[in-house]
Structure 1
Amino acid sequence: MAFTIDQALTSLRNARDNDRLGHAYLITGPAGSGKEKLACQLIALLQSKPAGEPVAGLFGEEPAAPVEAEPAASLDEAAGPLVNVVRPASAARRIRVADIHELEKGLRVSCGMNETKVAVICEADRLGVESSNAFLKTLEEPPDRSIILILTSRPEQLLDTILSRCIQVELIGDGMIEPETGTPEARWLDQIGEALQNGGSTVKDAFVLARATQDVLGQRKAEIDKHYQTILKEEGRRYKDASEAGKYLERRETELAARGKSDYLKVREGVVQMLIALFGDAVRAQVGGKRRSLPRYSKVAESLASQLSHAELEKRMKAVERLGELANTNVQENLAFEASFLDIVGVD
């Protein structure tokens, strides 16, 4: 059963109040369902102070109210001495064994009796075989006063031995995947929607949309590269007179290049997820479902639902999923997009 964020939080709060919290939670749901937001709220629950001793009041002793902590705006802000967060950060967007070892160190630090250590693994489907096995040891024997949160939109990619040791909390998508109006992604999705609504299914249509997709990704890649180049230049000015500055800056250049590639791959995955969401909305529209992951594109979804059979919609959605898989291989990106869009627009 899938929950909204509020429903899931209420259930977790009840478990906390009754001292029934598990040691590991698998938080799943589609992109935009609020997995990280729920993790931030649960961390705040764990950091809240319980009701203290009764205090003197106007009419005698009154129970002291618990002090609820304010949730952080993001997991990066929530991170601290007792909260360790791991994300895919290598050039291949994998969570490395070294990342898991650092996470384990954080779980084994000492803490107060009323404190809880939290380990969060974001995009856990990016765990490799070695890092999964390393993490499994921690999951089997979690340290005292610790909770592990595993976040993923693809739980089927995790080892069964990991799944079996977690309490699953599945979230309902809430449309947050939709791009903001005026962004390159929004203009690109407008173009995709217009072509699909108008029945565009020629080879030319496929290549035009593939080119438009690459243009959006190229723009985002340029922005990411500029961001990390700026960081490197600032650090170069700051440390230019320091001893061994050259070696440090060489390491930083390699590290920032890997982070830039990781950020780009995440953007590319987001674009693929938007396409999946568009066809998913069309499938829901066809069977009478009201929920939309892309509310502004409801007319596009309804148009696709009326034009295409259920089997054809699923076929095109699978073509988008294959695009995501193909883009992660050694195939040239432009060829992957051109070949996939032939199937996405329905070229025979």
Structure 2
Amino acid sequence: MPFSRTTALEYLRRAHQQSRLAHAYLITGPPGSGKQLLAADLASLVNGTPATDVFSAKAREIFVARPESKSRRIVIEQIRDLEHALQMRAVNARRKVAIIPDADRLQPQAANAFLKTLEEPPKDSLLLLLSALPEALPETILSRCIAIPLALNGQLQSNDEEEKLAKLLQEASRQKSWTIQFAYRLAQEFQRLLRAVREEVKRETEEALKRETTR
């Protein structure tokens, strides 16, 4: 169930205020859903760089790895450079931020190299992966990130369900280690929310059909 960008940022802002941000987030959504805008807002929140400068040369302690090779893939050399930068000591108490737009374009070797960073994140770092095709990412990477799904305007779920999902993700971010019981409850809650959204879509579709037949 996708968030609006505004709701997602509010959830992340609360987690930051409570010192409960996860070390890695996977921001997903179709083109135009605001993945880079949310990443810029979050990077600005923890790093202090203005959001408008996050993806520019003005940004400090923010490192971006984009597809740049002829094959439009993110290669292992880029990930090694990013990892080296994250190991450097941050200045002025800034939090270091790594952003990987189009993370689904990671070469297999690059993905394996970045997995080590996800497993042992450098101190005072935040890792942000962005993707419109998260299913193309290895399961080992997906399982180590908190997913933040975004929706295009006009394709959002109801505010009640959105708030429930926000609370669920916030609770997940507080867990230092997941027990089997917690993982099962999390899966059950996601399934319940998904059923609720499906029922709402079904109801709206039936109402639309009724209106059509009565014309």
SS where residue 151 of structure 1 aligns? strand
Q: Which amino acid aligns with 1:30?
A: P
- 1:72 lines up with 2:57 in the alignment: no
User: In structure 2, what is the Cα distance between the partners aligned to 1:20 and 1:173?
Assistant: 27
Which of 162, 169, 173 is the equivalent residue of 2:148? 169
Q: How does 1:252-291 map to 2 (within 5 A)?
A: 288=205
SS where residue 93 of structure 2 aligns? coil
User: In structure 2, what is the Cα distance between the partners aligned to 1:38 and 1:95?
Assistant: 21
- Which structure has the larger Rg? 1
Match of 2:209 in 1: none
SS where residue 20 of structure 2 aligns? coil
SS where residue 25 of structure 1 aligns? strand
SS where residue 27 of structure 1 aligns? strand
SS where residue 131 of structure 1 aligns? helix
Task: Give the structure-1-normalised TM-score.
Answer: 0.43
After superposition, the C-alpha distances for 1:15-42 in whole angstroms (9 at most, x for unaligned) are 0000000000000000110000000100
After superposition, the C-alpha distances for 1:104-135 in whole angstroms (9 at most, x for unaligned) are 01111101473200000010111111111011
User: In structure 2, what is the Cα distance between the partners aligned to 1:45 and 1:78?
Assistant: 18
* Cα pair 1:81 1:106 within 8 Å, conserved: no
User: In structure 2, what is the Cα distance between the partners aligned to 1:90 and 1:141?
Assistant: 27
Q: How does 1:28-39 map to 2 (within 5 A)?
A: 28-39=28-39
User: In structure 2, what is the Cα distance between the partners aligned to 1:137 and 1:168?
Assistant: 19
SS where residue 149 of structure 2 aligns? strand
User: In structure 2, what is the Cα distance between the partners aligned to 1:34 and 1:27?
Assistant: 9
Percent identity, aligned pairs only? 45
Q: How does 1:94-173 map to 2 (within 5 A)?
A: 94-112=73-91, 114-173=93-152
Match of 2:6 in 1: 6
Q: How many residues align?
A: 159
Q: How does 1:56-71 map to 2 (within 5 A)?
A: 70-71=50-51
SS where residue 11 of structure 1 aligns? helix
User: In structure 2, what is the Cα distance between the partners aligned to 1:135 and 1:4?
Assistant: 28
SS where residue 56 of structure 2 aligns? helix
Instruction: Give how far 1:79 is off.
Output: 6.1
Structure 2 residue runs of 5 or longer lacking an equivalent are 155-200, 207-215
After superposition, the C-alpha distances for 1:119-170 in whole angstroms (9 at most, x for unaligned) are 0001011111111101111111000000000000011000111000000000
User: In structure 2, what is the Cα distance between the partners aligned to 1:15 and 1:143?
Assistant: 20
More helix by share: 1
Match of 1:40 in 2: 40
User: In structure 1, what is the Cα distance between the partners aligned to 2:19 and 2:57?
Assistant: 23
Structure 1 residue runs of 5 or longer lacking an equivalent are 49-68, 176-283, 290-348
User: In structure 1, what is the Cα distance between the partners aligned to 2:134 and 2:113?
Assistant: 18
Instruction: Give how far 1:71 is off.
Output: 1.6
Q: Which amino acid aligns with 1:72?
A: T
Q: Which amino acid aligns with 2:20?
A: R
